[in-house]
């Protein structure tokens, strides 16, 4: 029996079993095929999941390493809603897969397109720069950046820390940016979503003299 061709097995099942049993062999073949396909699909998805974390992995944002000191008492001075701030960290990422990944050394010049003069502030405040992999949306980047910043207290309210995140354009490329700012006293700014590109200039101001 075990050496019979598939057609002979089918004929035997048809002769021996009730009508319902005639579907056992084709049903078994279909189920076996679905099982093999699902295993192949799981293996393919597993390889994608193992590859993507390496490409999309970002370093945690450790606020403790940024310090809690406020802005330096020199000009130009950075303000957020008229409150003096120190720029502690700037995170930048391309928006979309067609935008080339910049080097960390290019971050200050790119941020100057977002807020003119921010490049000088980064140098003055000795702000750190990070580059994240490409992001598919500004909203997704904002959520991820806020989660990684993990501000103390109630999302930073009542502490010297606040964060801003949103998109901007430099030349013909679109980017998203996240800033960690520190004031010299507790504030209630917390997490600020920059809704539109011109919103950066509504929130941030660089004062060049008293």
Residue-wise pLDDT tens digits, 33-62? 777 787 767 766 665 544 444 445 677 788
Q: What is the mean pLDDT of the chain?
A: 85
Residue-wise pLDDT tens digits, 13-27? 455 555 555 556 667
Burial class (CB in 10 A: 0-12, 13-18, 19+), 205: middle
Residue-wise pLDDT tens digits, 185-208? 999 999 999 999 999 999 999 998
State how far the Cα of 87 lies from the Cα of 183, in Å rounded to an integer: 9
According to DSSP, the β-strands at 159-170 and 128-131 are unpaired
């Amino acid at each position: 029996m075990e050496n019979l061709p598939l057609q002979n097995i089918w004929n035997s099942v048809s002769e021996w079993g009730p009508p319902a049993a005639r579907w056992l062999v084709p049903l078994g073949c279909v189920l076996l095929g679905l099982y093999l396909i699902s295993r192949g699909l799981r293996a393919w998805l597993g390889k994608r999941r193992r590859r993507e974390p390496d490409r999309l992995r970002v370093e945690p944002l450790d606020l403790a390493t940024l310090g809690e000191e406020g802005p330096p008492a020199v000009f130009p001075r950075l303000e957020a809603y008229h409150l003096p701030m120190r720029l502690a960290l700037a995170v930048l990422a391309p928006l979309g897969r067609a935008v080339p990944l910049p080097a960390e050394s290019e971050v200050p010049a790119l941020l100057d397109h977002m807020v003119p003069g921010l490049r000088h502030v980064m140098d003055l405040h000795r702000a750190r720069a990070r580059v994240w992999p490409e992001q598919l949306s500004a909203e997704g980047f904002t959520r991820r950046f806020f989660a990684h910043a993990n501000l103390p207290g109630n999302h930073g309210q009542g502490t010297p820390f606040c964060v801003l995140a949103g998109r901007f354009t430099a030349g013909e490329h679109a980017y998203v940016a996240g800033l960690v700012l520190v004031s010299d006293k507790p504030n209630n700014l917390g997490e600020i979503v920059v809704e539109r590109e011109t919103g950066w200039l509504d929130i941030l101001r660089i004062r060049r003299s008293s």
